[in-house]
Structure 1
Amino acid sequence: MTISLNSGEPSKMRTGGKPFFLEASIQFMVEERRAGRDGRPIPRSERYKVSTKGYMYTITTEDSQEVLGFHWHPGREAVDEPHLHVGTVNLVQGAPITRKQHIMVGRVAFEDVLGTLMQMGVVPSKVIAPQVLETNLDTFKRYRTWS
């Protein structure tokens, strides 16, 4: 299954200056688990686990220039690992990297991307306050099955 932010349309992020836009989609699978690795039954409240199978988080400028792209799309290209693209708006002519290069990174949570946007000057809404992101990220880290 895939879920996309804003039905796949870029979402405008407010800043003190020119806005950024975020496109985000996450591929996931819901798994039912009746017993843990130790064979003991799993409580009903913890029986279902959502596993991320891939994602595309792309931050762009007003004129659709990529700023950063956090991607993980196993099986779609030669690079199956989570990686980062640095957009041309960040690169000077003759830079040692290009926007096409895949810079290997660990898996990135959606909350991490929102935190990056705030570091870039995006003004958080009341719904996505830094404390909410921190709480959600802590919960995500507690239940993830990868490190």
Structure 2
Amino acid sequence: MQHVAVRAIQRPAQAVGRQQQRGQVLGQARATRLARYTANMRALYDGVAGLGLSPYLPPALQGPIVVNMHAPDAPTWNLQLFVDALKQRGFVLSNFTNTELPTFRVGCIGAFGPDQMRLAVDANPRAGFVGARPAGPRDASSCSPSPSSS
């Protein structure tokens, strides 16, 4: 009978040990995801500066999940056309704004890394948008897809 009692005590202890191991693995996975999301956010911040875009929040206040970007101050800016053009290139953005100022949202989470975020940033000019400052022969106010970019 004593043998059964020892097992009854050991099994919960073993279960607690397994749960602790799982917790450590989950904690490591969370830390890995957070590091990837943060690297994605930094790649986004670095990349959009070259396009003449600016994030809504300064980096010190920005979390790594979703970044709001100021929409270009251009009369031809059309968020839905921009979202549609990027979607045709394999990148999906939210097509709504949740701030008082015109903005658009870019998610930094998912099963992708900074290299893919750079590809998404690089797709912006091909989607017909070059930013809020002049970019050569194409006028900076050209914020909707041009026929040649489709």
TM-score (norm 1): 0.28
Please tell me whether Structure 1 or Structure 2 has the larger radius of gyration of its CA atoms: 2
Q: Which has the higher contact order (CA 8 A, sep 6+)?
A: 2
Q: Which structure dedicates a bigger proportion of its chain to helix?
A: 2
TM-score (norm 2): 0.28
